[in-house]
A and B are shown apart, each in its own frame.
Chain A
């Protein structure tokens, strides 16, 4: 059964304190892994797509990496505006392009 597990559930960082969020997945053939950011009162906003182990994507202070079993979202020198819930999702080859399986998210708080 396809499964996505994110850790930690919540993370509090001081401004400038770098850290990483984890997304472990079990899927029968990975079509793609996706990172989203969700602010309170809003829908998820797309950040990155990763397709194969070893792939990396960067955007400002965020860097996403992928292995065969997990993905990391590295946050370098975070700022308070990076506070949000970060969601990981996978798309499996067998279940078709229309199925995205989401994790429960990591709620990040960056303290000034």
Chain B
């Protein structure tokens, strides 16, 4: 399998649920990212991991919690979300922070 794989593709959760998004990259890259994509808004960078260490956290609410157990896997743990958190969550990877990033297909999240 190649590229960046995200699971699940679709997720519906209540405001009190806890869920996790998973991302796996098969490109041998050393940096991984979580982005949020909402309608009519630019992609928002949420978290960056470089060499498995978090290097960016752009004022993201604590109800989003990232985890990077190794250079190939990235998780986004979700708890007590709000309806405005409904969006497409994209995972990406790159080598050495290069602007040429490889994106997964995303997880479409709906918070009820």
Contact = CB atoms under 8 A, between A and B. Distances in A.
Interface of A: 4, 31-32, 34, 41-46, 49, 87, 89, 91, 96-105
A98 B103 contact: no
B66 interface: no
B90 A101 contact: no
Contacts of A32: 99
Contacts of A91: 99
Interface in B42-98: 42-43, 45, 48, 50, 55-56, 90, 92, 96-98
Name which of A43, A49, A101 has the most chain B CB atoms within 10 A of its CB. A43
B45 A43 contact: no
A42 B100 CA distance: 17
Contacts of B103: 43-45
A99 B92 CA distance: 12
Interface of B: 4, 31, 33, 40-43, 45, 48, 50, 55-56, 90, 92, 96-106
B100 A104 contact: no
B88 to A, nearest CB: 9
A31 B100 CA distance: 12
24 contacts: A4-B42, A34-B99, A41-B105, A43-B4, A43-B90, A43-B92, A43-B104, A43-B106, A44-B43, A49-B99, A91-B99, A96-B97, A97-B98, A97-B99, A98-B33, A98-B50, A98-B55, A98-B56, A99-B56, A100-B43, A100-B45, A101-B42, A103-B42, A104-B42
